[in-house]
Amino acid sequence: MRLSDRIAEVAVIGGTGLEDLFEGFETVNVGTPYGISHTLSIGEIGGRRVAFLPRHGRKHSIPPHKINYRANMYALYKIGVERIIATNAVGAININFRPGDLVVPHDIIDFTRQRHLTFYDQSPVIHVDFTEPYCPEIRGILIEVARGVAGTVHEQAVYVCTEGPRFETPAEIRMFRALGCDVVGMTGMPEAVLARELGICYATICFVSNMAAGISGKLTYEEVIETSKIVMPKIRRIIVEAVGSLPRVRGCQCSSVNKPRSGG
C-alpha cells in the first residue's frame, strides 16, 4: 500500500562514504511489514523531492549482511519513490580498472548467502524478469553525467555481490574473474532485485576503492575510506546532476512487473 501523499519521487541510497547528502527538511521512519526502515531524509534536488537513505546508517554502523533491505526498499516504495540512484564502493577484479575509477554496472551476479532476497516468499509464486537488472534509462543518464564530471567511466561491468563482511580470498577473486565479473561489492544484492519486484527503476554509480584480494597486497577498510574521501565530491556532483536530468515520465519497462500485494 502506497501512502496517498507522495513524499518523494526519487531516492538516493548512499553507500560507504556517502552517509549524508543534504540538509533535509524532514526525516521519516517508515513502518513496513518487514520492520521499520532506516531514517530517511527528505530534501529537494533540481525541483524533485528526493529521499536519502544511508544504507549503513548515518554513522556507518550496519554491516552489509545486517541491512534490512526489504524494509528499506518497501519504505521507499510506500512513500512514492519510482526511481533510485544507488552508490557502492567496489573492489576491482578487472585489472584494467583502477582505484578512483567510476563504474556503472550493466549486470550482476549474486553470491550472497543469508539475506531475504524477495518479497515473494509465499503464494502467489512470482518470478520477475531480471534480464536487464539495472534501469537502462538511469544508467544512460549516469554514464553521460559521469563522463562530463570525471572524464571517463566504465559503462559495461558485471558486479558480483558477496556476503561479507570479510573481504574475499584471492581464489574467490580468480573464480569471479573467470566467471566474467569486473567489480565486487557487498551491498548490490538484494537491493537491485527488490527494486525490480516493486517496479522501481534502479541503477548504481560505483567507485573502485581498491584492487580486489590477491591483486595488490592486503586489503583494509581504511583504504576503502581513503579512496571514498577523494572520489566522493565527484559522486555527489554526479548524483545531483543525474537527479536533475531524469525525465519527468519514465521511458523504460521497469515498472511493468507484478507488485507484491502486501498490506503494509
Residues 6+ apart with CB under 8 A from 78: 1, 2, 3, 30, 32, 264
Q: Does the CA dihedral 205-90-74-192 come out positive or negative?
A: positive
Query: Applying CB under 6 A, which part among 34-42, 53-61, 89-97, 235-243 lies near ligand HPA?
Result: 89-97
Q: In the complex with ligand HPA, which residue's Cβ is closer, 14 or 80?
A: 14
186: Cβ–Cβ under 8 A, 6 or more apart, which residues?
A: 64, 65, 161, 162, 163, 164, 165
189 binds ligand HPA (CB under 6 A): no
Pairwise CA distance, residues 135 & 251, whole Å: 10
Nearer to ligand HPA, 181 or 246 (CB): 181
Which parts of 144-173 interact with ligand HPA (CB under 6 A)? 162, 167-168
User: Does residue 209 bind ligand HPA (CB under 6 A)?
Assistant: yes
Which residue's C-beta sits nearest to ligand HPA?
A: 91
Nearest approach in angstroms of CB 190 to ligand HPA is 16
186 forms part of the interface with ligand HPA (CB under 6 A): yes
Q: Are 203 and 138 in contact (CB under 8 A)?
A: yes
User: At its nearest, how many Å lie between ligand HPA and the CB of residue 240?
Assistant: 23
Q: How far apart are CA 136 and CA 177, in angstroms?
A: 24
Does position 37 interact with ligand HPA (CB under 6 A)? The reply is: no
205 binds ligand HPA (CB under 6 A): no
- Contact pattern for ligand HPA over residues 98 through 137, marking x by CB under 6 A: ----------------------------------------
Answer yes or no whether residue 184 interacts with ligand HPA by CB under 6 A. Answer: yes
Q: How far apart are CA 91 and CA 11, in angstroms?
A: 24
Taken in order 100, 102, 106, 112, is the CA torsion positive or negative? positive
Single-letter amino acid, residue 26: E
- Contacts with ligand HPA by CB under 6 A lie at 89-91, 162, 167-168, 184-186, 209-210, 212, 219, 224
